[in-house]
Structure 1
Amino acid sequence: MSQYDPKIDAKRGIEHGAWSILIHLFPHYDIPVLQLSLNLDFKLQQHYEIRSLLKPIREEGVLIIGSGIFAFSEEINAESPDWAIEFDHSIKKALIEKNHETIIKYRRLFGKSAKLSVPTDEHYIPLIYIIGLQNEKDQIRFIYEKFQNSGMSMRSFILE
């Protein structure tokens, strides 16, 4: 048995990271949903390798959403600190350049701005799954690029 053999647990509900996106896209709850759990024992590279399980699903036309948040303040309109803006721009640049290695090794490469922006990996890992699905021909289209609650980048994109 491989470390990547998925199991289905029908008793689990949809986690807030998925629900908070889906409620706006599909308010009538009229689509089937499969949510991935995160194995926090995996290294980021292992999460990236899960693309081998997800790519065939994407090729069938299934919508795959990766959702996560980073550091934030309780004040919704608080000004964004320089470290948050710097980190967000670095990730945007890596996404445009399809530089997956930079996105995976973000802690080593972006130091303090990465540590402050992403205190724990569970809100960053969905990005790793999505970049793993990116094909060479895919273009990235940013559909939302603002901050909320100070350091929380709401950057959203589509692979087309």
Structure 2
Amino acid sequence: MKKTPVIFIGHGSPMLAIDENDLTREMQRIGADILNSPEKPKAILAISAHWYAPGTYIQSAEKPRQVYDMYGFPEELYQLKYPVRGCSDLTKEVCDRLGSDVSINDSWGIDHGTWSVMVHMFPDASIPVVQLSVNSHLRTEQCVEIGRKLAPLREQGYLIWGSGNIVHNLRRIEWNNRGGSDQADHFSKYIVDNVLSGNIDAVINYQEHENASYSVPTPDHYMPLLYCLGAAGEDSATVFNNTCTMGSLSMASFVWA
């Protein structure tokens, strides 16, 4: 079987789930390419910023619950259903590869960092999904190392898929700004350029950039990118949705193949 790609998605606001715009059309395009591929993934290992937990956990539920982990949005968003199945074979493979570093935990589910994007990429929910937590205790280089340990899953037909944001600062949101602030634009460009050039050290050591504290005030939304980098290995990246919005959100997304 041909090795599956690795995907990182900038997901932004939960309203993405019910939006129809250039960002969602690009997600639909990438998803259609995967669905129409002769090597359609057997299942997806999803690493969402919104399962930010004090450990590395993997789900085992046959029918993981949909988590509406956001507040104050239109009722239409809470009525949206994404009835995805789990995949016991993928859960077992992750446990085998990570050993004592991972444990099964079904207290969470499929959160909006995952389903708000997948309703566009894989709208029929035909590909099973298993979420892996983002471990809040890990250093950046350890996130990359976990991704490397999981990379062989790609040769077994599993898609490794991360969801977060390179720039994510909700305290600095500019509601009337359709673009990015200078700080967001500079930091996002710096990370995108280094991902595309394969300069992983710069992405790992993002704190050295002058706009890091503005762009990554907490690491939860940045860390999924690091898991993806590890899983991608030496594969080259292409970028899509390479824009910032609402001042302090970067929607930059990548495919490695």
Number of residue pairs the alignment of both structures matches: 156
SS of the equivalent of 2:255 reads strand
> What stretches of structure 2 of length at least 5 have no aligned partner?
1-97
Shift of residue 42 of structure 1?
A: 1.2
- 1:76–1:148 CA contact under 8 A, matched in 2: no
SS of the equivalent of 2:158 reads coil
What is the CA–CA distance in structure 2 between the aligned matches of 1:3 and 1:76, rounded to whole Å? 47
The residue number in structure 2 matching 1:140 is 237
SS of the equivalent of 1:64 reads strand
User: Could you state the TM-score of these two structures normalised by the residue count of structure 2?
Assistant: 0.56
The residue number in structure 1 matching 2:209 is 110
The residue number in structure 2 matching 1:127 is 225
* Amino acid corresponding to residue 184 of structure 2 in structure 1: A
Q: Is 1:150 aligned to residue 150 of structure 2? A: no
Q: Which runs of 4+ in 1 moved over 3 A?
A: 76-79
| Percent of matched pairs sharing the same residue | 37
Matches within 5 A, 1:8-157: 8-69=104-165, 70-72=168-170, 73=173, 75=175, 77-107=177-207, 109-111=208-210, 113-136=211-234, 138-157=235-254
C-alpha distance after superposition, 1:30-78 (max 9, x if no partner) = 2111111122111111111102331111222321111113124151644
- 2:113–2:163 CA contact under 8 A, matched in 1: yes
Shift of residue 102 of structure 1?
A: 0.7
What is the CA–CA distance in structure 2 between the aligned matches of 1:53 and 1:80, rounded to whole Å? 35
Greater strand fraction, Structure 1 or Structure 2: 2
Structure possessing the higher radius of gyration over alpha carbons: 2
* Amino acid corresponding to residue 191 of structure 2 in structure 1: I
Question: Considering only aligned residues, what root-mean-square deviation do their CA atoms show, in Å?
Answer: 1.9
What is the CA–CA distance in structure 2 between the aligned matches of 1:78 and 1:30, rounded to whole Å? 33
User: Cα distance 1:52–1:79, how it changes in 2: closer, same or farther (>3 A)?
Assistant: closer
User: Cα distance 1:95–1:4, how it changes in 2: closer, same or farther (>3 A)?
Assistant: farther
